[in-house]
Amino acid sequence: MSRRTEQLSANIVRICAAKLVEFPVPGTLLTVTRAKVAPDNRRATIWVAGWIDVSDSLKNKLRLELQSALAHKSTTKFTPLLEIIDDQTAANAAAIVDLVKSSLEKDRPQ
Report DSSP state, residue 22.
T
> pTM for this one?
0.78
Torsion angle, CA of 22/58/8/78, rounded to 10 degrees?
-110
Tell me the pLDDT of the chain (110 aa) as tens digits: 688 889 999 999 999 999 998 888 888 888 899 999 999 889 999 999 988 888 899 999 999 999 999 999 988 888 899 999 998 887 777 778 888 888 877 777 76
